[in-house]
């Protein structure tokens, strides 16, 4: 079974631009979560989608948004990029939630904002 | 509020030596506890989790952790490490009723020959 696939692996953008990251979950998984990883703040939860609905949201500004499609694939969008948005963005999928079905993480998209 | 504290940012250890990576949490309600490992340029992989029951939890790659409610700790241990265990290890908690993990800042385990 294929794992969680995130594309692209690397991105370089300039301040003020916007970016879209993609995540394809493991087949059959309906929950997709996004995390931001930076050296200073560590791993922080962005949001979770389940069956095309945002089910949970972290403390990030409105510039960060996401969506999930009917095939469970998810996209994350960041508008008006800032230097501080440089990070590794990790996507994780699970059957439903975290307790009974573990999170499976992708290898991440490394975003560099210049 | 809940937080997770990993007391050591780096732990150097020689191959075949035992290791303990420390994790403490604070929460006013019951939590579930997890340890994840991250190898270079990869995502996170679940090592083990504590949901309920026996406080000693065994995970993959020979790791185990013990939940201590009175000390609010969930330390990760391995009796004999290998070079291939070199990675970053994250402790995480999930508050009952929530769906998002709160991660500690990570501990970089460096296994030396």
- Residue B40: which residues within 8 A CB-CB, separation 6 or more? B87
Distance CA B46, CA A80 (A): 34
From chain B, pick out residues whose CB is under 8 angstroms from the CB of A44.
Answer: 103
CB contact under 8 A, A56 and B98: yes
Q: Is the pLDDT of residue A17 over 70?
A: yes
Chain A CA closest to residue B101: A45
Which of B41 and B11 is assigned the larger pLDDT?
Answer: B11
* Mean pLDDT to the nearest integer, B10-32: 93
DSSP bridge partners of B21: B76
Q: Chains A, B: CB contacts under 8 A, how many?
A: 51
Distance from CA of A57 to the nearest CA of B (A): 8
CB contact under 8 A, A56 and B51: no
- Residue B36: which residues within 8 A CB-CB, separation 6 or more? A105, B44, B45, B46, B47, B89, B90, B92, B103
The three-class DSSP label of residue B4 is strand
Q: What tokens were used for B40?
A: 């270079």
CB contact under 8 A, A43 and B99: no
Q: For B85-88, which contacts have Cβ atoms below 8 Å and span 24 or more sequence positions?
A: B85/B19, B85/B61, B85/B109, B85/B111, B86/B110, B86/B111, B87/B37, B87/B38, B87/B39, B87/B40, B88/B37, B88/B38
With CA atoms as reference, report the closest residue to B19 among B51, B47, B50: B47
CB contact under 8 A, A48 and B99: yes
Taking the Cβ of residue A60 and every Cβ of chain B, the question of whether any pair is shorter than 8 Å is answered with no
The predicted structure's pLDDT at residue B67? 94
| pLDDT-based confidence at residue B1 (cuts at 50, 70, 90) | low
Q: What tokens were used for B74?
A: 């969930």
Digit-coded pLDDT (tens) for A33-85: 999 999 989 999 999 999 999 998 999 999 999 999 999 999 999 999 999 99
The predicted structure's pLDDT at residue A90? 96
DSSP bridge partners of A15: none
| pLDDT-based confidence at residue B31 (cuts at 50, 70, 90) | confident
CB contact under 8 A, B101 and A55: no
* Cβ neighbourhood burial of B66 (10 Å; 0-12, 13-18, 19+): middle
């Amino acid at each position: 079974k294929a794992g969680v696939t995130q594309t692209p692996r690397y991105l370089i953008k300039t301040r003020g631009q916007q970016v879209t990251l993609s995540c394809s979950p493991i087949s059959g998984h309906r929950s997709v979560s996004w995390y931001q990883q930076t050296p200073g703040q560590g791993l922080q939860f962005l949001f979770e989608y389940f069956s095309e609905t945002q089910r949970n949201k972290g403390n990030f500004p409105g510039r960060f948004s996401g969506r999930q499609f009917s095939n469970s694939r998810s996209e994350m969008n960041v508008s008006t990029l800032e230097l501080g948005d440089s990070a590794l963005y990790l996507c994780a999928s699970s059957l439903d939630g975290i307790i009974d079905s573990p999170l499976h993480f992708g290898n991440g998209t490394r975003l560099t904002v210049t | 509020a809940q937080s997770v504290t990993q007391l050591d940012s780096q732990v150097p250890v020689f191959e075949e030596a035992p290791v303990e990576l420390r994790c403490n949490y604070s929460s006013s309600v019951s939590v579930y506890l997890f340890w994840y490992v991250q190898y270079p340029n990869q995502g996170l992989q679940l090592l083990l989790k504590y949901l309920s029951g026996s406080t000693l939890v065994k995970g993959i790659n020979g790791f185990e952790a013990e939940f201590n409610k009175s000390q609010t700790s969930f330390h990760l241990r391995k009796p004999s490490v290998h070079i291939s265990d070199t990675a970053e290890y994250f402790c995480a908690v999930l508050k009952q009723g929530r769906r998002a993990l709160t991660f500690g800042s990570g501990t970089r385990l460096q296994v030396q020959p």
